[in-house]
């Protein structure tokens, strides 16, 4: 790995091109194709040109397959013939930063970069309260409507008269993350892959103009626990492809299906893991360790931020890009960051390079035991597919 000046993003880590070709552009484009006047501030409504490529569709389904990175799909296209045969309206898209599920789902739902919607990590500090928020274990504190206060694309579509449904696991109904990122959509809980397929197709056909979102988490979980280079992951991909096949076969004539993902992922061997708990100099002056193993936020004790930054840079070297909050914000990796949201980012940001992971077996034992990870800005973590299929009447 080549070095880089402190605070400068190294060449092996990439800045997402918000408003050009990222996950944030998918739902605004789909809604625009349905005639919704989408508001995204300074970002264009449909930079991907989905209005043209969806060919007059009156119903659009967007399926997000958690963990289906574009590199992984290309490497295993033989196991996913339906996905491999779908058209590609544009090239690969980019996940946001950090490349992790809560951030990506909020980016999809709002059509905005993380610095605008405020869900800036898997685990983040709650400023002024000396506690952390795990976004996948979130219920109602903080209030989802204020923690993520931006209007979603779903809300904008409902205002334009489009019937909007989100279909995902039954267990996620009513969670803080569901309320924050799918706000405006009618959430319908599914209990199986077959149930999700039936619910998505039923919702597509239930109104003359409809936007339906579906979410499948199992591929990502399988990768984390077993690794992406495992028989279990490959078997799960085969099952996911069957779900997509059923959706394509069941599309109404005037409907289109878009398939995308929230991030890629990679296996991390034991030899490229830095256990932060083995380095007391990395915890000295640290008030709160947040984030996850490939995207760490370090919140320092008052007055200690500069010393913490220096120590993290010295110890981690080229294992990670280590930057101050100000340097990370200035790099553009989060998009423009609202001043009120910036404290959710650590005083120090550490994004893993190569196949390194910054585990913490004492402070953060669960995530530290996983096999595969994501969260950083390598090409494999950022590259996600955008695939399309159209009903018979759309050609």
Q: What is the pLDDT of residues 58-106, one digit of tens each?
A: 999 999 999 999 999 999 999 999 999 999 999 999 999 999 999 999 9
Q: Mark whether 237 and 333 lie in a shared domain.
A: no
Verify that 231 and 298 share a domain, yes or no: no
C-beta of residue 377 within 8 angstroms of C-beta of residue 15: yes
* Whether pLDDT at 55 is above 90: no
User: Would you say residue 130 lies in a domain?
Assistant: yes
The verdict on 121 and 35 lying in the same domain is yes
Q: Which two tokens stand for residue 64?
A: 């997000």
In a domain? residue 5 = no
Summarize the confidence of residues 317-329 as an average pLDDT: 98
Q: Are residues 70 and 150 in the same domain?
A: yes
Give the pLDDT confidence score for residue 60 in this predicted structure. Answer: 98
Residue 15 placed within a domain: no
**Residues 246, 357 share a domain:** no
Task: Tell whether the model's pLDDT for residue 4 goes beyond 60.
Answer: no
Q: Where are the beta strands (DSSP E) in the chain?
A: 59-65, 93-94, 123-126, 131-134, 163-169, 186-190, 210-216, 255-261, 266-267, 273-275, 286-292, 295-300, 320-324, 348-352, 357-359, 372-373, 383-384, 387-390
Mean pLDDT of 29-34: 98
Domain residues for the domain of 240 are 23-266+379-394
Q: Are residues 59 and 160 in the same domain?
A: yes
- Residue 329 maps to a domain: yes
Distance, in Å, from the CA atom of 131 to the CA atom of 141, rounded to the nearest integer, reads 11
Average pLDDT over residues 305-311: 98
Express as a percent the part of the chain with pLDDT over 90: 96
Task: Note whether 261 and 297 are same-domain residues.
Answer: no
Instruction: Please count the CA atoms within 13 angstroms of the CA of 289 that sit on its side-chain side.
Output: 24
What pLDDT is attached to residue 393?
Answer: 80
Q: Are residues 287 and 258 in the same domain?
A: no
Q: How confident is the model at residue 53 (pLDDT cuts 50, 70, 90)?
A: very high
Q: Does the pLDDT of residue 187 top 90, yes or no?
A: yes
259 and 357 fall within a common domain: no
- Are both 230 and 277 inside the same structural domain? no
Residue 8 lies in a domain: no
- 113 falls within a domain: yes
The answer to whether residues 247 and 173 belong to one domain is yes
Whether 13 is covered by a domain: the verdict is: no
Q: Minimal CA–CA distance to 322: which of 290, 298, 342, 302?
A: 298
Q: Are residues 274 and 196 part of one domain?
A: no
Q: Is the pLDDT reported for residue 2 higher than 80?
A: no
Q: pLDDT band at 176, cuts 50/70/90?
A: very high
pLDDT at 252: 96
pLDDT of residue 222: 98
**β-sheet bridge partners, residue 167:** 188, 214
Decide: helix, strand or coil at residue 204.
helix
Write down the residue that tokens 């996620």 correspond to.
Answer: 172
Q: What is the CATH number of the domain that holds 313?
A: 3.30.1360.180
State the average pLDDT for the chain.
97
Mean pLDDT of 168-178: 97
Task: Count the domains in the chain.
Answer: 2
274 falls within a domain: yes
SS3 239: helix
Task: Report percent pLDDT > 70 for the chain.
Answer: 98
């Amino acid at each position: 790995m080549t070095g880089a000046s402190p605070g400068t993003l190294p060449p092996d880590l990439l800045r997402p091109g918000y408003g050009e070709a990222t996950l944030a552009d998918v739902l605004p484009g789909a809604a625009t194709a349905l005639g919704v006047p989408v508001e995204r501030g300074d970002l264009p409504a449909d930079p991907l040109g989905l209005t043209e490529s969806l060919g007059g569709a009156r119903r659009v389904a967007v399926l997000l397959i958690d963990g289906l990175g574009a590199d992984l799909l290309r490497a295993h296209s033989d196991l996913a013939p339906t996905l491999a045969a779908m058209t590609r309206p544009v090239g690969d898209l980019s996940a946001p930063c950090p490349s992790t599920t809560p951030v990506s789902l909020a980016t999809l739902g709002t059509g905005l970069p993380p610095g605008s919607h405020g869900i800036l990590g898997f685990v983040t500090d709650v400023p002024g309260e000396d506690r952390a928020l795990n976004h996948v274990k979130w219920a109602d504190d903080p209030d989802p409507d204020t923690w993520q206060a931006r209007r979603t694309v779903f809300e904008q579509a409902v205002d334009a008269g489009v019937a909007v449904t989100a279909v995902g696991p039954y267990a996620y109904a009513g969670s803080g993350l569901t309320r924050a990122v799918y706000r405006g959509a009618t959430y319908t809980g599914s209990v199986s892959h077959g149930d999700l397929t039936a619910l998505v197709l039923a919702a597509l056909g239930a109104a003359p103009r409809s936007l339906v979102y579906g979410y499948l988490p199992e591929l990502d979980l399988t990768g984390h626990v077993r690794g992406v280079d495992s028989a279990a992951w490959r078997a799960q991909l085969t099952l996911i492809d069957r779900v997509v096949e059923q959706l394509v076969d069941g599309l109404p004539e005037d409907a289109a299906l878009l398939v995308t993902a929230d991030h890629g992922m990679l296996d991390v061997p034991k030899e490229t893991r830095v256990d932060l708990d083995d380095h007391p100099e990395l915890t000295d002056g640290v008030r709160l360790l947040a984030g996850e193993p490939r995207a760490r936020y370090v919140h320092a004790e008052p007055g200690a931020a500069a010393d913490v930054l220096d120590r993290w840079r010295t110890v981690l070297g080229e294992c990670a890009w280590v930057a101050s909050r100000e340097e990370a914000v200035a790099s553009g990796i989060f998009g423009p960051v609202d001043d009120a949201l910036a404290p959710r980012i650590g005083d120090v940001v550490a994004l893993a390079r190569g196949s390194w992971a910054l585990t913490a077996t004492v402070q953060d034992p669960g995530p530290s035991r996983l096999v595969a990870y994501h969260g950083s800005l390598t090409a494999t973590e950022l590259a996600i597919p955008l695939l399309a299929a159209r009903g018979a009447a759309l050609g």
